[in-house]
Amino acid sequence: MIKIAVINLQKKALVDQQKIKKLIRKVLNKERPGIEGEITLSLVSDPLIRKLNMLYLKKNLPTDVLAFNSTERFNKNKFYADIIVSSDTAAFNAKVFRSSLPYELNLYIVHGLLHLLGYNHNCAKRRKVMLKKELEYVHT
């Protein structure tokens, strides 16, 4: 079983930790049944995610989600990862795309998790696969 910690460092969105953990478990149960380890999900503001984006990716701008896999560093037999989501970016995009803040947050959580599981969107074919999976998990 995987241990999931949710850390709320923002004030823009109400956080239902149980729903977030349920979403993460749903994705993991489908993608990697029986996976063990730890995932920490942090909900942050744009200023903090901007600092982290600069520190780790050398990009001086806020982003929607950052995901870091620390498995190799800690234990190759278990999954250790961090997902960091910006509630400010989610709120902004909810207005732009006429969705909701909870929907955008869930989308970013799933997006980050799929990256950690090896998915990427660096070509049209892979982008299509990843988008299909994101929508499947966020809408079910």
> Domain 2-139 in CATH: superfamily?
Metalloproteases ("zincins"), catalytic domain (3.40.390.30)
Neighbours of 10 (CB within 10 A): 20
- 59-117 pLDDT per residue, tens: 999 999 999 998 776 666 788 999 999 999 999 999 999 999 999 999 999 999 999 99
For the chain, the domains span: 2-139
Structure token pair of residue 54: 């600069």
- 11-69 pLDDT per residue, tens: 989 999 999 999 999 999 999 998 999 999 999 999 999 999 999 999 999 999 999 99
- What local confidence, expressed as pLDDT, does residue 74 receive? 64
pTM beyond cutoff 0.95: no
- CA 16, CA 130: separation in Å to the nearest integer? 25
